[in-house]
Structure formats: structure tokens, C-alpha cells
Amino acid sequence: MSADAQLALPGLFDQTVQEWVWTEDVGEETEVTEFVHETVMKREVTEALAPAAGVFVDATVGGGGHTEAILEAHPEARVIAFDRDSAALAAAQARLERFGDRVTFVKTPFGRFDQALDSLGIREVSGLCADLGVSSPQLDDAARGMSFRREGPLDMRMDPTATEETALELIARVTDEELADIIFRFGEERRSRRIARSIRRSLADNQLHTTLDLRRSIVRAVGPVRVGGVDPATRTFQALRIAVNRELEQLEQLLAALPSRIAVGGRVAIISFHSLEDRLVKRAFQVKDTWSVLTKKPMVAGDEESAVNPRSRSAKLRCSRRLAREPAAQQGRLSLGPLE
Ligand SMILES: C[S@@+](CC[C@H](N)C(=O)[O-])C[C@H]1O[C@@H](n2cnc3c(N)ncnc32)[C@H](O)[C@@H]1O
């Protein structure tokens, strides 16, 4: 199927909303007017996707900035918008109301990309964007427990309604060594062992309940000095958030599903915010005969954007175009059919 052939999807946007497809009920509890997230590299993502008549996926709709840009760029583009956070979906729905049924909201982790498309009866899409990590409202909401600047419960889940464990439950479940490994691997923190021991001691002393307790415990282990302008708690908070939300696993699942779900000629644009994510994206796009890489080096935000949106400074955008369905060698092998 070509990237333009998606218009042929009959009735996609008027089919019955499925159990996991998000509807507006979460909006009642959500203060959507307070959702302010500055979209990163909007122009670059839109140009890379080159929206046309077809169905696109925004794997991380957040406040809806990228989805809006796609819908504005082409009057016959449609978007399936994923997020695992009901508050984000509520905000995006409010912002994108004017596009009516050109956008469908789906509450799901994007690691379930395959299953989500199956449930909507879609085989392939014309393109996908993902703007990884957390949004500003998620960081700013003390109740989410993601920021060491605000006192909140040690939760850190992007979907607080999920059954997955909270950061506190994770800390309580693992051993000192496992905690150190998480902090080292996902936070790239060299002082992980010292920090893990201190956190577990705080837990044993019944001194670990909130984000500020966690920061105090980290500071007790490594001191209050900011290295390179970075708070001593930054890496450990990042590590725990990544572990709680299984962020790398989610990304791996999404990347693995892309080759069979992006139509030939379709484009993918992924923004990552740390090297662990960027490495996975780079490696996935290196599969020869599957992707034509459009960004030999990752694109970064321009000076103007970096000046007004600090979050954009660590953004790296990689884009690729889907090549032929199967590599030539594979096609040859398949034609042998009965001999296999
Ligand atoms: C950086 S924000 C996206 C902002 C959006 N592009 C905009 O312009 O408003 C990232 C969003 O992705 C969501 N998210 C992160 N990981 C996810 C996952 N594995 N599955 C679904 N949503 C995820 C978060 O809940 C958050 O709302």
C-alpha cells in the first residue's frame, strides 16, 4: 500500500469506540485549561512527515501540538492520537475539537501500537510521530511525583490510573543492587551504588514518603553540589521515572512494530530527550532495505526555539522513510515457498 492509499480505509473514523479508546469521561476531573506544553520542533516534525491525504499516528499526543500541525498541514490528513495519560488526552481533545472526526483519541501506551491499530481495523498508516518523555504539565503537577522541586507522593506513573507500581513500590520491591543498576543504567549516574544505599536506608528508617524525602536522601549520599548546572537528584529521578513507566521497553516495542505498520513511502519522526532513547531510534532506522534515513545526524532545535523553550535544548529529532515492504533477498526466499 502506498503512503497515500489510506483514504481507502472505509468507515475508520465512525466505527464504535472500543473499550480502550478514550472518550471524554476523564475530562470531568481534569483541569484542561491549565495544560500548557510548548511543542518542540513543530515545524521540523511537520516538514519531515510531509502530511498528505492519509492516516497518521501521533504516538504521544500530549497537549496536541504536533497533531494540530499535521491536521493543519493537509485538509485530508487524519490523525490517530495516542497517550497513556487521560489528562493529556482531555487537553488535546479540547484543543483539537474544531477538527471533528479527523482525529481519534486512543488511551493506550504506544508499546501497544500493533494491538491498537488492530482494534481500529487499520493495517498500515501513512506516517507516525513521537515526542518522547513527559510533558511540562506532568512535571509541574506535584501529585504526579515526577519533580524533585515539588513535594508530592513518590508515584511517577504517566498514567496514575494504571495498575503498574509506583516509584515507592518499586524502591521497596528491589534489592539495593537492583536499585543501583536502575539508577546507573537509566540515569547514567556514576554514583548509583551510594545513592541506592542511601535511598534504601531512608526507606528502612521510614523516612521515604515524598519526592522531597527522595531528594534529601540523594543529597545525603552525594552532597548538594550541582555538577554542570544539574541538580544532584536529576539523574536518579529520571532513572526511576523511566523504570516505573518502562519507557525504553515501550520504545523498543513501538520501533519493532513500525516496519510492518508504516506504508511504503510513509515517514516516521521521533524526538528523544536522552541518549538511551536516541540510541534505540538510531539503531532501529539502520535496518537496511527497510528505512531510508532522512536525518544522517539528528536534528536539533534552532537558536530561536532553544532561547524560548529550554526543554527543546535536549531534543534530538530523527526521521526515516519506509522503503519497500521486504528486502529483495527476503522476497527471493519467500518465493521458494513450498521448499521451506
Ligand atoms: C512531550 S509530551 C508530548 C507533547 C506533544 N507533542 C505536544 O506538542 O503537546 C509526551 C506525551 O507522551 C506521553 N507518553 C509518554 N510515553 C508514552 C507511552 N509509552 N505511551 C503513550 N503515551 C506516552 C506522555 O503521557 C505525554 O503526554
Dist CA 172 CA 204 (whole Å) = 9
Nearest protein Cα to ligand 1, atom 27: 62
CA 133 to ligand 1 centroid distance, Å: 6
Q: Return the pLDDT at 76.
A: 98
Dist CA 280 CA 99 (whole Å) = 33
Dist CA 124 CA 264 (whole Å) = 9
Condensed to tens digits (0 to 9), the pLDDT of residues 178-191 reads: 999 999 999 999 99
Question: Is the CB–ligand 1 distance for residue 130 below 6 Å?
Answer: no
Task: List, in order of start, the domains of the chain with CATH numbers.
Answer: 5-137+247-332 (3.40.50.150), 165-244 (1.10.150.170)
Question: Is the CB–ligand 1 distance for residue 84 below 6 Å?
Answer: yes
Confidence of residue 98 (pLDDT cuts 50, 70, 90): very high
Nearest protein Cα to ligand 1, atom 5: 62
Dist CA 204 CA 197 (whole Å) = 10
Question: Is the CB–ligand 1 distance for residue 39 below 6 Å?
Answer: yes
Asked if residue 247 has pLDDT above 90, the reply is: yes
What average pLDDT does this structure show over 90-108? 97
Dist CA 69 CA 134 (whole Å) = 20
Nearest protein Cα to ligand 1, atom 14: 60
Confidence of residue 325 (pLDDT cuts 50, 70, 90): low
Q: Return the pLDDT at 66.
A: 98
Helix (H) or strand (E) segment spanning residue 260: helix 247-261
Question: Is the CB–ligand 1 distance for residue 273 below 6 Å?
Answer: no
Question: Is the CB–ligand 1 distance for residue 90 below 6 Å?
Answer: no
* Paired sense of beta strands 262-272 and 316-322, if any: antiparallel
Question: Is the CB–ligand 1 distance for residue 137 below 6 Å?
Answer: no
Which is more confidently placed, 332 or 211? 211
**What's the pTM value of the predicted model, to 2 decimals?**
0.87
